[in-house]
Amino acid sequence: MDWNKLAEALITDENVKPLEYYEALYPERALEKGAQVTRLAPSPTGFMHLGNLYVALANERIAHQSGGVFYLRIEDTDEKRKVEGAVEVIHQSLKYFGVAFDEGADLCGDYGPYYQRQRAEIYHAYAKELIKRGLAYPCFCTEEELENTRNHQTENKLLPGYYGEFAKCRNLTEEEIYENLKAGKPYVIRLRSQGDVNVKHTFRDEVKGEITVTENNQDVVILKSDGIPTYHFAHAIDDHFMRTTLVIRGEEWLSSLPIHIELFKVLGFRLPKYGHNCSIQKMDGETRRKLSKRKDPEASLTFYREQGYHPTAVRKYMMTLLNSNFEEWLLKFPDKPIDEFKYSIGKMGKSGALFDILKLNDVSKTMMATLNESEMFDFLKAWADEFGSDEQKSYFADRTYTERVLALCMGVGGKKRRKDFVCAKQAVEFISYFFDETFCPDYAYRFDKQTVKKVLLGFKTVYDYADDAQAWFDKVKAVAGENGFATDMKAYKADPAAFPGNVSDIAEMLRIATTGLANTPDLWTIMQILGEERTLARLNKAIGNL
């Protein structure tokens, strides 16, 4: 077989450059010894899984702590999985969590293009090289033939795939190949595997430690019939030419490792270090299972942005899942920036990382309680601007007013911090009654309308914005007394049946009238924040409703 001739017939020299050209175009990176070049290489599916953040954080930490480079490569070889706007989603979601790329798709960088579809020429050059060396060949098998082989293998409990006796096109004669080409039969290019499944090797996985890897014997497709490479082939060439030194990726890729090892070998490239991290799991009742894109809303990164989880809280929690000694470090240095933590691959979990949203919520509550007035305002505003309703957006038009609301409702800036706010959405919903745009009370009083009306009218006549808390309360008491309600709690407790209620019931009526709620922070302060005009308007509205 004249392999050179076949290589030229399949991929002409016109379409590719000599291999040295690519080596010169993408030289070794000038980095300090020990610096790691890592990457995130997602497919543009439009869905960012929590696992993507997990892997991204590990790769980002390792690259940046070692003085290396972290880049983004888009693996878009599978047209069917591609979704419009997906790269934007990748950038947005990771940026939110503070994951910064040094180079990559839609960013600058000397090792691009960072979209695989734009790198076709390099893949063709190397496919051609493999054909020349008799290490790749055209395969003309039809979908139907492959399906028959699959069925035969299943029925006979044989290993699936294109190998050995099932690799029908592996041994086509020169004549057969040219005849097929002449007939215009579509073909793919397959690797001529040199491996043997009976041979096993010990492999050092950076996360899992020593593992056993069986040699690949599959003649995997390297170029599809439309000339687009498969992920396996493209990733090997890209990791070589982007000078990746370490690949941390999900353990679902472990089964492809034998193929990758063989591809690097036949291509003559140095294999990067690989670490396969465990999948993220959760408890589902008594059973532990993988976090599922279909079943669990919290599997999507969008979920955390839509709910308004503080990015630092999510990062902190993810770090506790990623590195077993992070929590201890955080307890010791709660105020240090988390990037000062020394990340280590050796401390990554070898089996499933158990994700517990309640723990994340705890971390979030603690985090939210550390924000000062302007940080809280900016954080909630940023959430509302992106995910809130128009009314919620308008909450942030008056900074002074809203900061006072936050100080009262959440204790922001004060000594009594509330620690029960998990996310921005919850906090913004909580303050809704301070804003007329969303103030729509259902006035659920516990007393009859007439009593309430008398109380509200009575209070309205004596209400004075200038009253301090004590003077204000004295007036509430006076209204209570006028309506026969107990003003002295001792007297009330001694004989509750003697009164329709006590002063706190009066305060509740006023509270419901002005806020719509039976439970709120201090009512005098609320009225101070609402201001005289708005307080009176609300009292009038409530009276009108009775």
Least separation in angstroms between residue 262's CB and ligand GLU is 15
Least separation in angstroms between residue 77's CB and ligand GLU is 8
Size of the site for ligand GLU (CB under 6 A): 9
Q: Report the residue number, 167 or 247, with the smaller CB distance to ligand GLU.
A: 247
Task: Tell me which stretch binds ligand GLU (CB under 6 A): 247-255, 284-292, 416-424, 518-526.
Answer: 247-255
**Among residues 53, 79, 51, which one has the least CA distance to residue 252?**
51
**Among residues 197, 266, 214, 216, which one has the least CA distance to residue 236?**
266
Residue 253 near ligand GLU by CB under 6 A = yes
Residue 41 near ligand GLU by CB under 6 A = yes
Q: Report the residue number, 249 or 381, with the smaller CB distance to ligand GLU.
A: 249
Least separation in angstroms between residue 380's CB and ligand GLU is 34
What whole-number distance in Å separates Cα of residue 203 and Cα of residue 511? 69
Residues with Cβ < 8 Å from 368, sequence gap 6 or more?
310, 313, 376, 410, 419, 421, 422, 423, 427
On whether the CB atoms of residues 22 and 16 are closer than 8 A, the answer is no
Q: Report the residue number, 302 or 426, with the smaller CB distance to ligand GLU.
A: 302
Q: In this structure, how many other beta carbons lie within 10 angstroms of the beta carbon of residue 248? A: 28
On whether the CB atoms of residues 114 and 72 are closer than 8 A, the answer is yes
Site for ligand GLU in 352-411 (CB under 6 A): none
Q: Report the residue number, 236 or 480, with the smaller CB distance to ligand GLU.
A: 236
Count of all residues that appear for the chain in the document = 546
Least separation in angstroms between residue 253's CB and ligand GLU is 5
Q: Report the residue number, 232 or 425, with the smaller CB distance to ligand GLU.
A: 232
What are the start-end ranges of the E strands in 73-147? 103-104, 136-139
Q: Report the residue number, 18 or 113, with the smaller CB distance to ligand GLU.
A: 113
Residues with Cβ < 8 Å from 533, sequence gap 6 or more?
none
Least separation in angstroms between residue 176's CB and ligand GLU is 35
Task: Tell me which stretch binds ligand GLU (CB under 6 A): 37-45, 144-152, 176-184, 428-436.
Answer: 37-45
Q: Report the residue number, 39 or 453, with the smaller CB distance to ligand GLU.
A: 39
Least separation in angstroms between residue 90's CB and ligand GLU is 11
Least separation in angstroms between residue 516's CB and ligand GLU is 49
DSSP 454-522: HHHHHHHHH--TT--HHHHHHHHHHHHHHTT-BS-HHHHHH-GGGSS-BHHHHHHHHHHHHHS-SS-S-
Residue 451 near ligand GLU by CB under 6 A = no
Q: Report the residue number, 168 or 265, with the smaller CB distance to ligand GLU.
A: 265
**What's the sign of the alpha-carbon dihedral 25, 28, 32, 38?**
positive
Residues with Cβ < 8 Å from 75, sequence gap 6 or more?
41, 42, 43, 44, 116, 231, 234, 235
Site for ligand GLU in 218-237 (CB under 6 A): 231, 235
Q: Considering only the C-alpha atoms of the chain, give the largest distance between any 2 of them, rounded to a whole number of Å.
A: 110
Write down the catalytic residue from 293, 454, 460, 541.
293
Site for ligand GLU in 476-515 (CB under 6 A): none
The residue to which tokens 């899942």 are assigned: 321
Residue 75 near ligand GLU by CB under 6 A = yes
Residue 42 near ligand GLU by CB under 6 A = yes
Q: Tell me the three-class secondary structure of 372-402, residue by residue.
A: CHHHHHHHHHHHHHHHCCHHHHHCCCCHHHH
Least separation in angstroms between residue 517's CB and ligand GLU is 47
Instruction: Tell me which DSSP letter residue 49 carries.
Output: B
Residue 43 near ligand GLU by CB under 6 A = yes
Least separation in angstroms between residue 323's CB and ligand GLU is 20
**What's the sign of the alpha-carbon dihedral 251, 190, 71, 296?**
negative
Which element (helix H / strand E) includes 431? none
Residue 290 near ligand GLU by CB under 6 A = no
Residue 249 near ligand GLU by CB under 6 A = yes
Active-site residue flag, 293? yes
Instruction: Tell me which DSSP letter residue 11 carries.
Output: S
Q: Report the residue number, 177 or 257, with the smaller CB distance to ligand GLU.
A: 257
What are the start-end ranges of the E strands in 34-92? 37-40, 69-72
What whole-number distance in Å separates Cα of residue 324 and Cα of residue 320? 6
On whether the CB atoms of residues 192 and 137 are closer than 8 A, the answer is yes
User: Residue numbers of the site for ligand GLU (CB under 6 A)?
Assistant: 41-43, 75, 231, 235, 247, 249, 253
| Residues carrying an active site annotation | 293
